[in-house]
Structure 1
Amino acid sequence: MTTPSPTRMAASLPAEYRARLMATAREVGFPENYRIFEEGQPADHFWIIRSGTVTLDFRVPGGRKAVIDSLGFGELVGWSWLYRPYVWQLGAEAMTPVRAHEFDAEVVRMMMDADPAFGSAMGHWIGRVLSHRLHATRVRLLDLYAPHGSGS
C-alpha cells in the first residue's frame, strides 16, 4: 500500500475544510510547456492539479533552470502566496496539458484569518508541503551537484 503524498490536499486537509476551500475554486487549463509562474513574480494565486504534470524549478546562476520536483493529480502548486512578501520562490511549468483548480490567494488568506481552525488546518497542510518540497530540493541538488549523488 502506498502512502498518499503530503502535498495532496485530500491526504492533508479535513473534508470540511476541503469543501470550504473548493467552493472558492475556478477551473483553469494550461497547455504543455506553459510557464505558470516565474520565480520573483507576485504570488497571488495557487492551484491544485486535476490532471497533467507540473514541474517546479529555480534559476541557477550562469546555467539553466534546475527542476526540483514534479507534481501531479491532487497536488498543490504554489505556497509563496501564504507568506509575505507574497513572491514566488520557485518557477512552475506545465510539462503536459494541465487542468487545475485555481484559487485567489487573497480570498483564501481572508478565510484563514476569519476562521482560526480553518487557518490552522491550511497552515499545517502548507507546512507539510514545504517540508516535502525542501526534502525534494535537497535530494535533487545532491543528484545534480554532489560527486556521488544523493545516494537514494
Structure 2
Amino acid sequence: MSSATPKVSTLPPEHRERLMAFAEDVYFESGHRLFEEHQHADRFWIVKTGAVTLDARVPGRGSPVIETLHHGELVGLSWMFPPYLCQSGAEAMTPVRAYEFNAPAVRSMCRSDPEFGASVLFWLGSVLAHRLQVTRVRLLDLYAPHGSGIMA
C-alpha cells in the first residue's frame, strides 16, 4: 500500500488546470480545525505546505488521528457526495498553506463537463479507496487486541 494519498497531479493536465482555476490561497495556523464530523462539506483543500491530520470519532475512545496529509494531497472528500456531510475531522498539525475550493462550483463544472467530471470522480475514488484502507489499518493498530493475529 502506498503511504501517500493519490495526489491532484494524477488528474490529466488539462483537467488539473481547470480545477486549479477554482483555487483560492488560504492559510491556517497550527491547531486550526478545518472541519468536524457531520459538518456541511461546502469546501475542500489541496495542501501546499504544512501538514493536516484527519481524525475519526470513536465512541468512548476519543478522536484518533487516522492519516496525516502533506503537499499535493486532498483534504475533504464529502463535498462531492450527498448529503455533503464530513465523515471525519481535520486539523492543521503545523501552519498550513493550501488551495481552497468552492465545492458547489466544482460540482457544477463536473456536471456541465462530463469528461472533467469523470476525471475528478476517478481521482476522488482513488483517494477514497486509499483512505478506507488507511483507516482500517489505523483502527486495527489502535484497537485490535495485542497478539490477536489480526494483520492488515
CA drift of 1:58 comes to: 1.1
Question: 1:136 is matched with which residue: 128, 134, 137?
Answer: 134
Residues paired across the two proteins, number: 149
Alignment of 1:2-151 (within 5 A): 5-10=4-9, 12-148=10-146, 151=151
CA 134–4 in structure 1, closer or farther in 2 if over 3 Å, else same: closer
Q: 2:125 corresponds to which letter in structure 1?
A: G
Question: Would the aligned equivalents of 2:47 and 2:72 in 1 still touch at CA under 8 Å?
Answer: yes
3-state SS, counterpart of residue 47 of structure 1 = strand
CA drift of 1:61 comes to: 1.0
Q: 2:122 corresponds to which letter in structure 1?
A: H
CA 4–65 in structure 1, closer or farther in 2 if over 3 Å, else same: closer
3-state SS, counterpart of residue 89 of structure 1 = coil
Structure 1 portions without partners, runs of 5+: none
Distance, in Å, in 2 between the alignment partners of 1:30 and 1:16 is 29
TM normalised by structure 1 equals 0.93
TM normalised by structure 2 equals 0.93
